[in-house]
Structure 1
Amino acid sequence: MGIFSSIWDRIRGHRPQAASTAPAPQSTPAAPTATAPVDVEAVLVSMAELKGEQAAGNWRTSIVDLLKLLGLDSSLEARKELAQELGVNAGPHGSAEQNIALSKAVWRKLEENGGRVPDSLRD
């Protein structure tokens, strides 16, 4: 399993309280339904609130802080692997240029996988 898969799994596995109140299952079979999009920002805000503002860091713009918020490895090696996985080739490994490009690539990939990502995070 790749690093991006771990990111997506952590986001999908943590839903804000309001989103977790689902109706009780019905006893009659229901037609399959499409999975609702995940509000990525709401999930991450909820996680940040649980950790506290200082512990959450600047996850909106920092790939390192995003990985830490999700409880994932944020080391240079992990970011190199994520860059390779997402095809990010901007600047030297660990540089601000690469980290910014990597952060943007993660937001795009989350959206491609069914996440709702606001424009403010993708730009």
Structure 2
Amino acid sequence: MGIFSSIKEKLFGKAAQDTSAETAANETITAGSTKPVTADVSATPTTAGNDAAAKPAENKTAGAAVDVAAIMDAAVKKNGQKLDWRRSIVDMMKALDLDSSLSARKELADELGYTGDKNDSATMNVWLHKALMKALAENGGKVPADLLD
């Protein structure tokens, strides 16, 4: 599993757990009903020629975007250190209890397609933070607009 996958798991896994608990509660309520419980299948139908439509959505919760800021703020609070995840990739990784070493950040840079000089860590870190926010938004995360520019 790559670093980006670990970040998504930390962020979206927590949201998926919250959604699973809510779904379980709803199923308990409807279990005594005479109506069958069915899944919402109103999503766009897939066609054999449309690869994008044929692929299932990855790491998205049931119809709701994962609030990245709320999860990160809670992670920082739980961590107990003064971390500025909104500006620092290192602090973000620390808040998620992930390896924030230069080698881990270089690996993340490779995963996200960084083409600059990985020995210029300051420039790479700024790029990484922006690229990570964009990638999280593309994968079902609700990212504050000011972090996407």
Q: Same fold (TM over 0.5)?
A: yes
Aligned counterpart, 2:111? 85
Q: 2:14 aligns to what?
A: 14
Segment drifting more, 84-93 vs 98-107: 84-93
Structure 2 gaps, min length 5: 42-61
Higher mean displacement: 18-27 or 99-108: 18-27
Query: What is the identity, as a one-letter code, of the residue corresponding to 1:98?
Result: M
Q: Structure 2 length normalisation: TM-score?
A: 0.70
Distance in 2 (alpha carbons) for counterparts of 1:64 and 1:39? 20
Letter matched to residue 122 of structure 1:
L
Pick closer, same or farther for the CA change 1:68–1:111 going to 2, 3 Å.
same
Alignment check: 8 A CA contact 1:79 1:94 kept: no
Q: Is the 8 A contact 1:104 1:122 kept in 2?
A: yes
Go from structure 1 to structure 2 and tell me whether the alpha carbon gap of 1:64 and 1:12 turns closer, same or farther (over 3 Å shift): same
Distance 2:82 2:6 in 1: 18
- 2:94 aligns to what SS in structure 1? helix
1:37 aligns with: 65
User: Is the Cα contact below 8 Å between 1:63 and 1:103 reproduced in 2?
Assistant: yes
Q: TM-score, normalised by structure 1?
A: 0.84
8 A contact 1:76–1:93 mirrored in 2: no
Q: Give the CA deviation at 1:93.
A: 3.0
Counterpart-to-counterpart distance in 2, 1:85 and 1:106: 10
Aligned runs of 1:98-117 on 2, under 5 Å? 98-117=124-143
Question: C-alpha separation between the residues in 2 aligned to 1:19 and 1:43?
Answer: 14
Q: RMSD in angstroms over aligned alpha carbons?
A: 2.2
* Alignment match, 1:69: 95
CA distance, structure 1, for counterparts of residue 40 and residue 19 of structure 2: 20
User: Using the alignment, how far apart are the partners of 1:115 and 1:58 within structure 2?
Assistant: 19
* Percent sequence identity over aligned pairs: 46
Unaligned regions of 5+ residues in structure 1, if any? Answer: none
Give the partner amino acid of 2:5.
Answer: S
